[in-house]
Amino acid sequence: MVPFPQSVREVVPWSAVEPQSVAAEAPPAGALAVETIGMTKRFGSFAALDDVSMKIEAGGFHALLGENGAGKSTFVKCIMGFYAPSAGSVLVGGREVAITNPKGAQSRGLGMVYQHFTLVPSLTGAENLVIARSHVPAVIDWASERVALDAFMGRMPFRLNLDRPVAELAAGEKQKLEIVKQLYLKARFLILDEPTSVLTPAEAAEVLGLLRAMADRGDLTVLMISHKFREVEAFARSVSVLRRGRLAGGGRVGELSRDDMAAMMMGARPVRTVAGRSAMPAPARAVLRIADLKATDASGLRPIAVNDLAVHAGEIVGIAGVSGNGQKELADVLGGQIRATGGSVIVGDQIYGGRRAQSRALKVRFIPEEPLRNACAPRMSVAENLAFRAFDRRGDDPARPPTFWLDTGAMSRRAKDLIARFKVKTASSEAPIATLSGGNVQRVVLARELTDPVDLLVVANPCFGLDFSAVAEIRARIVAARNAGAAVLLISEDLDEILELSDRIVVMSDGRIVYAVPAAEADAQVIGRHMAGHHAPSATA
């Protein structure tokens, strides 16, 4: 069971929680100003960061916009001492400092919340907080530490259970714990790397609202990496945009329009938009039917119970939900990674268990999240990875009979054809697939799964971590598969993606389907409330 105890509360201004206590706690309190001058970072001949000068005033809430690979992460890692910049300097509180490692950054009051979690999974929240301090006593007196932690948490905007191992926390709770950890370490300048990617819209508003209130009170300076214009406009006070390692522009929020920001981010370049969806004749046949399905993940902690879910030919059903609410387990059951303990999955008119022969016969395609890890053999070549579905068939052709010998000639010809058709950027078809960028790995997987006729396509988080142009192309491919008559089950933690692509939207929370709505009638606020666990107990899809 993964309860989601964090109810969505109204955004309480920080000052209303408790006015003076933080200032009384940390001796050198108050927000820090940080400025970079001519920051440059080269990897070999490639300049990941090129002469970036930026000033973030004390108590500011500054957003850093940019595509993947624009240098945002490199920039903040140079500030935090992960990378030694090739040129340029950092001023903290108006004085030039040399920060050579993250510990040094911490001791100067700089803290960072990473996109991936840095908490130790098997340790409890309390253990994670205490061990992160720079001075930990040799023997930890948990009784007095608990008193101190309770007092500290009393001043925190989030309520968290510190006694459970972090591995059992939902993603949103982990993210809050990461932020709490930085405040516990007395960070006065906080860097957030895409902080809301794992939060519901309401949670995101709560977290960012509270941090903005802290900034407004002069307790904290925030630098937030984001690519969501909505968040930037709602919470940031100023913004800088990076493009290809250079500062492309910036200004005060409110003086820049979304078009201005998009133009700075993308430069002059056409961007493909999602291909239009063609209308489907009304009573389509149900390709996937799930009835009373029960399963649990490998840790046994996240049971799912999906009572009734159908996906019809020519429609995209989007499953929305906050990470860790059973979507991954549902995808794993459909992909055959975990066994269902009850109920049935029916594709066409046959029971489906994710076996290779079944998926071939019923034309089911599964594209799991993190494709490099879950859908590829990283050190095998692009050509070999492209051949996974039919390498054991004559001529690398799934329609022909099985064979003992690999037809490497046919594999290589097919690989070159697919690389050209799907515009995969790779040194050659023989390069290990791990050497490709995330977007190109996903193109390879799509090329492998979508070239033959497809009846059912299950996709999980297909665009996670990819840049704008790759995202647009991959979404267009998914819509094209739908238009060609495939039933598509799209599982995504990105609500904008669900809203953009789906014909029908269902919400998963706590392992169950709690809400279903046709896309035309969907309201992001209502969906967000259901994602956060606010729903009538009897509601089903």
Partner 1 sequence: MTDIGLWSVLIAVIGGAIRVSTPFLFVSLGETITERSGRINLGLEGTLVFGAMSAYATAVLTGSAWAGVAVAGLAGGAFGLLHGWICRFPRVNDVAVGIALMLFGSGLAFFFGKPFIQPSAPQLPALAFGSWSDLPQIQAALRVNVLFVIGAALSVFLWWALRNTRVGLIVRIAGDSADAARAMGYDVDRVRLLATGAGGVLAGIGGAYLSLYYPGSWNEGISSGQGLMAVALVVFARWNPLACFGAALLFGGAGALGPALQSVGISQGYYLFYAAPYVLTLGVLIATSSPDRALAGAPGELGQGK
Q: Interface with partner 1 includes 434 (CB under 8 A)? A: no
Toward partner 1, which CB reaches closer, 299 or 538? 299
Q: For residue 86, what are the contacts with CB-CB under 8 A and spacing of at least 6?
A: 40, 41, 42
Toward partner 1, which CB reaches closer, 139 or 268? 139
Specify the stretch interacting with partner 1 by CB under 8 A; choose among 10-18, 134-142, 313-321, 508-516. 134-142
CB of 301 to partner 1, least distance (A): 10
Q: Where are the alpha helices (DSSP H) in 301-437?
A: 327-335, 356-362, 371-374, 382-386, 408-421
C-alpha span between 209 and 202 (Å, rounded):
10
Toward partner 1, which CB reaches closer, 139 or 282? 139
Toward partner 1, which CB reaches closer, 113 or 261? 113
Backbone angles phi, psi at 210, to 5 degrees: -70, -40
Toward partner 1, which CB reaches closer, 298 or 431? 298
DSSP annotation string for 408-454: HHHHHHHHHHHHHHTT---S-TTSBGGGS-HHHHHHHHHHHHHSS--
Of residues 24, 139, 268, 536, which one binds partner 1 by CB under 8 A?
139
* CA distances for 325 relative to 235, 320, 329, 515, 530, angstroms: 27, 10, 9, 13, 12
| DSSP-derived 3-state class of residue 163 | coil
Q: Interface with partner 1 includes 142 (CB under 8 A)? A: yes
Q: Interface with partner 1 includes 138 (CB under 8 A)? A: yes
Q: Interface with partner 1 includes 373 (CB under 8 A)? A: no
CB of 336 to partner 1, least distance (A): 13
CA 177, chain centre distance (Å) = 17
CB of 346 to partner 1, least distance (A): 21
CB of 329 to partner 1, least distance (A): 11
Toward partner 1, which CB reaches closer, 294 or 534? 294
Q: Interface with partner 1 includes 132 (CB under 8 A)? A: yes
CB of 169 to partner 1, least distance (A): 15
Q: Interface with partner 1 includes 119 (CB under 8 A)? A: yes
252: left (phi over 0), alpha (psi -120 to 50) or beta: beta
Toward partner 1, which CB reaches closer, 26 or 123? 123
Q: Interface with partner 1 includes 44 (CB under 8 A)? A: no
Of residues 8, 65, 99, 127, which one binds partner 1 by CB under 8 A?
127
Q: For residue 504, what are the contacts with CB-CB under 8 A and spacing of at least 6?
A: 315, 316, 317, 318, 516, 517, 518, 519
**Binding map of partner 1 across residues 281-320, x = CB under 8 A, - = no contact:** ---------------x-xxx--------------------
CB of 467 to partner 1, least distance (A): 24
Specify the stretch interacting with partner 1 by CB under 8 A; choose among 34-42, 52-60, 98-106, 514-522. 98-106
C-alpha span between 507 and 513 (Å, rounded):
6
Of residues 15, 100, 122, 257, which one binds partner 1 by CB under 8 A?
122
Strand order from edge to edge, sheet including 34-43? 46-56, 34-43, 87-92, 95-97
Q: Is the separation of the CB atoms in 174 and 119 below 8 Å?
A: yes
C-alpha span between 350 and 371 (Å, rounded):
27
Q: Is the separation of the CB atoms in 519 and 505 below 8 Å?
A: yes
Q: Is the separation of the CB atoms in 223 and 35 below 8 Å?
A: no
Q: Interface with partner 1 includes 147 (CB under 8 A)? A: no
CB of 369 to partner 1, least distance (A): 18
Q: Interface with partner 1 includes 427 (CB under 8 A)? A: no
Q: Interface with partner 1 includes 346 (CB under 8 A)? A: no
* CA distances for 441 relative to 133, 257, 341, 370, 408, angstroms: 39, 34, 33, 10, 21
CB of 136 to partner 1, least distance (A): 5
C-alpha span between 289 and 126 (Å, rounded):
44
Q: Is the separation of the CB atoms in 439 and 272 below 8 Å?
A: no
Of residues 15, 53, 118, 278, which one binds partner 1 by CB under 8 A?
118
Q: Interface with partner 1 includes 182 (CB under 8 A)? A: no
The token pair that represents 125 in the structure block? 């929240």
Q: For 440-540, where are the E strands, in sequence order?
A: 456-460, 487-491, 504-509, 512-518
- Restricted to residues 436-455, the positions that interact with partner 1 (CB under 8 A) are none
Q: Interface with partner 1 includes 355 (CB under 8 A)? A: no
Specify the stretch interacting with partner 1 by CB under 8 A; choose among 62-70, 132-140, 360-368, 442-450. 132-140
Of residues 103, 164, 252, 421, which one binds partner 1 by CB under 8 A?
103
- Restricted to residues 196-215, the positions that interact with partner 1 (CB under 8 A) are none
Toward partner 1, which CB reaches closer, 104 or 251? 104
Of residues 120, 274, 284, 480, which one binds partner 1 by CB under 8 A?
120
C-alpha span between 242 and 69 (Å, rounded):
10
Of residues 136, 147, 148, 420, which one binds partner 1 by CB under 8 A?
136
- Count of residues engaged in binding partner 1, rule: CB under 8 A: 26
Toward partner 1, which CB reaches closer, 59 or 81? 81
Bridge-partner residues for 42, per DSSP?
47
Specify the stretch interacting with partner 1 by CB under 8 A; choose among 113-121, 216-224, 260-268, 286-294. 113-121
Q: Interface with partner 1 includes 342 (CB under 8 A)? A: no
| DSSP-derived 3-state class of residue 202 | helix
Residues lying near partner 1 in the complex (CB under 8 A) are found at 101-103, 118-123, 127, 130-132, 136-140, 142, 296, 298-300, 338-339, 341
